[in-house]
Amino acid sequence: MAEENGDVSGVATLTKKDFTSDQEPRWCPGCGDYAILAAVQGFMPELGIEPHNTVFISGIGCSGRFTYYMDTYGFHGIHGRAPAIATGVATANPDLHVWVVTGDGDALSIGGNHLIHALRRNVNIKILMFNNQIYGLTKGQYSPTSEQGKVTGSTPAGSVDYPFNPLSLALGAEATFVARAIDTDRAHLTTVLRAAAEHRGSAFVEIFQNCNIYNDGAFDFVRDEKENRVYLEHGQPAGDTGIVHVETDFATAFALSRVTFETHGVVPLGVFREIQRDSYDELVQAQLDNAKGEGDLQALVASGDTWVI
């Protein structure tokens, strides 16, 4: 394989083909998921991590099909539980490179608690949340990120719910890496993915993704209008927002997460926060390393007060 890919050193050169399964992607024609899939498959070889050391875990939703199209290990879990499954995988085998693919409904509704606890624990996983502000797979109900007043089959008079701000939520959960990208800007999306992959601990990436069937054009103001984008750079002013971006400062990151097209006429993209903190698997391993002796399970079970029934 190494020589076939032009490398005679004995180390195989990975290509997009190595991460592309034999399954034909099946989303609605024009769905933003296609662009994200192509970006991820094209980016993965850069990491130099073999497919058999990589895992993609997903929940329920259109994004859940992602695992079938990656030629890596994969697990298609039940609704909202992808972060919990990924926590077990990453903790049991910290040598694996673990990615979670989820949607705004899957991650922020039934999966809300799993998401925030994975982030606060700083589990070494990379979470890609496709945000199209709608439930696509189940045919267009409003989601936790749908705007107030959203008219759908489940809210014919308009939703009265106040929507989540995914970035603010992730920051509030003390995520150590928080970023945003859009499906149509492949170069920038790849840059964000690269930064997330290099981060040790939980990385949360919101990706604006168009659902052209049930919520077409939801992000046209930033997908089609480049002048409405503010690309964040550490230490540099964030456009005309009056905020100088500092990735390690929580207050700055949170303030930028509140900058929206409605409030400022622009949308920040890039890495909002990145800090270093011990990851969950490292802390668990440290406990195991510090444990004294092999232990006696039977003695533990029989310890303390016991009752015979």
Domain extent listing, the chain: 16-301
HSE value, Cβ hemisphere, 13 Å, CA-based, for 62: 29
Instruction: Identify the pLDDT of residue 4.
Output: 43
The string of pLDDT tens digits covering residues 237-274 is 999 999 999 999 999 999 999 999 999 999 999 999 99
Task: State residue 12's pLDDT score.
Answer: 66
Residue 293 is predicted with a pLDDT of 67
Beta pairing, strands 97-103 & 229-231? unpaired
pLDDT on residue 233 = 97
Give the residues of the chain that fall short of pLDDT 70.
1-12, 293
Residue 40 contacts residue 69 (beta carbons within 8 Å): no
Phi, psi of 203 (to 5 degrees): -120, 125
Q: Rounded distance, CA 220 to CA 39, Å?
A: 20
Asked if 179 and 203 count as a contact pair (C-beta separation under 8 A), the reply is yes
Sheet with 54-58: strands ordered across: 73-76, 54-58, 97-103, 126-131, 203-208, 177-182, 267-274, 229-231
Answer for the pair 14, 48: CB distance below 8 angstroms, yes or no.
yes
Burial class of residue 3, CB neighbours in 10 A (0-12, 13-18, 19+): exposed
pLDDT at 30: 93
Amino acid code (one letter) for 191: T
Q: According to the model, what pLDDT value does residue 171 have?
A: 98
CATH number, span 16-301: 3.40.50.970
